Amino acid sequence: MPMRWLRRVLPVAVLAPLLTSCSLQGVQSMFSPAGSIAQEQLDLFMWTWYLSIPVMVGVFGAMFYVLVRYRRRKGDPEPEQSHGKPAVEVILTIVPVLIIVMVAIPTVRSIFRTQSHVVATSDDIQVNVIGHQWWWQFEYPDLGITTANELHIPVGKRVILHLNSADVVHAFWVPRLAGKVDLIPNQNNQLWFDTNEDSIGIYYGQCAELCLGAHAYMRFRVVVSAQDDFDTWAADFQKPTIQTASSDPLVTQGRQLVANKGCIGCHNIGNYAEGVTYGQPQFPDLTNFGLRHTVGAGVLDATPENVAKWIADPQSVKPGNRMPTLWAANDPNRDQEAAAIAAYLLSLGVADTNQALAHASTGGY
């Protein structure tokens, strides 16, 4: 009987953790760290997880033993009315103290390694991250670049983010790279992380602090690329290609619509005309939009169909967001015009290696 039971249970007991450990990997999973900070956060968790196994075995084992051994049986004598045994109580107090000490030492070491304020050197990449309901603004003060919803960084460099918010509290969270720090209005917070040579790829991030409305759709991507690719990307942003005419009539039509429909009343498009800044800073900058991987702050992949869908009816894609609907629902021109604007936006920016790399690496897990 016990053997049969063992044969049935053992494979499950061995396989279950294996199976789960496979499925724990993911694009937004802390179990797939790609930088030293995320690795340290995972290591600390694993240490306490291993430490908790004997605790659970001890407590639940003792409980199981007691319940079986001391269950009431017929003719039980009256139990001894013991109020406790000081020696046992002292030991039972020391045990949790020891466990706590074993957790506390690595914890304190890791706090100072991962959360100490760092002073930027010229070798670091610094980015001002400003949270808006419900999108992300990324400014590179050293490079003079402003973009939205996609943070580009070169591999291997230390990245220092200066976090602030334009409205309510948000939280910047990239599980595979850095954990999270809140973006709080009227307060400057810092988050830093680094990457290693294997980190090239695309990482998913998301706002983790309730900011009402479209909070669930306040997502973003971090693109870690080789230094050369990053430099190409940055150069492209510092001097965006001005695109006034195109061989594609759809793109030409889209460019006109961007003005006629009022897009540039809110959004800056650096490619629109030389030396003019359009829009207002509280709306996402669309310069070199064609280099983006997503539309709507990480909600949809930036395919022509998805971008057109987003422009035509943003509320259906991301309920609660602040983008106005530009066409009446029954407007016969809506789909054609949205597709034209999408075509124009996606034509912005010089296609480079980032794009290819990005699409290849999201399929990963």
Partner 1 sequence: MATTQTAVSTRGKLFVRPTWTRGIGSWLTTVDHKRLGILYIVSAFLFMGAAAIEAFIMRLQLLTPNMNVVNPDQFNQLFTMHGVTMVFLAIMPLGIGLANYFVPLQIGARDLAFPRLNAFGYWVYAFGGLMIYSSWFLGGAPDMGWVAYAPLTSLSHNPGLGVDFYMFGLFISGIGTTGTAMNLIVTIVSMRAPGMTMMRVPVFAWMMLITSFMIIFAFPPLTIAFLEVILDRTFGTLFFVQEAGALPILWQHLFWIFGHPEVYIIILPAFGVISEIIPTFSRKPLFGYPIMILSGILIAFMGFAVWTHHMFTTGLGPVVNTAFSLTSFIIGIPTGVKIFNWLGTLWGGSIRFTTPLLYALAFLVTFTLGGITGIMVAMPTFDAQVHDTYFVVAHFHYVMGGGALMAFFGALYYWFPKMTGKMMSERLGKIAWVFTVVGFHLLFFPQHLAGMLGMPRRIQTYPEGIGLELVNMLSTIGSWVMGVGLILILAGVIHAFLRGKPAGKDPWDARTLEWTTSSPPAYYDFAVQPVVNSLDPLWVEKHPGAMGGVTAPDPESGKAYDAHGIHIPGQSWFPFVAALALTVGCYGLMYDNIVFAIICGLAFIFCIFGWAYEGVGGTHLHLDLAEEGK
Residues 302-321 that bind partner 1 (CB under 8 A): 319-320
Place of tokens 């830093």: 192
Q: Does 253 bind partner 1 (CB under 8 A)?
A: no
Angle, helices 249-260 vs 334-346, to 10°: value is 100
| Residue 296 backbone dihedrals phi, psi, to 5 degrees | 80, 35
The stretch among 9-17, 123-131, 205-213, 327-335 that binds partner 1 (CB under 8 A) is 205-213
Q: Which of 98, 87, 174 is CA-nearest to residue 129?
A: 174
How far apart are the C-alpha atoms of 147 and 169, rounded to whole Å?
20
How far apart are the C-alpha atoms of 76 and 79, rounded to whole Å?
8
> What's the closest the beta carbon of residue 149 comes to partner 1, in angstroms?
15
- Which residue lies nearer to partner 1 by CB, 96 or 144? 96
Residues 32-91 that bind partner 1 (CB under 8 A): 38, 40-42, 44-45, 48-49, 52, 55-56, 59-60, 62-63, 66-67, 70-72, 76, 78-84, 88-89
As given in the structure block, the two tokens for residue 335 are 């789909």
Q: Does 19 bind partner 1 (CB under 8 A)?
A: no
> What's the closest the beta carbon of residue 222 comes to partner 1, in angstroms?
13
Q: Which of 138, 151, 298, 281 is CA-nearest to residue 218?
A: 298
Choosing from 6, 19, 57, 96, the residue that interacts with partner 1 (CB under 8 A) is 96
Q: Does 337 bind partner 1 (CB under 8 A)?
A: no
Residue type, 157: K
As given in the structure block, the two tokens for residue 180 are 């999270």
Residues 168-197 that bind partner 1 (CB under 8 A): 168-169, 171, 173, 175, 178-182, 184-187, 189-190
Residues 220-249 that bind partner 1 (CB under 8 A): none
- Per-residue binder mask for partner 1 (CB under 8 A), 101-120, x = binder: --xx--xx-xxx-xxxx---
- Residue 80: its H or E element: none
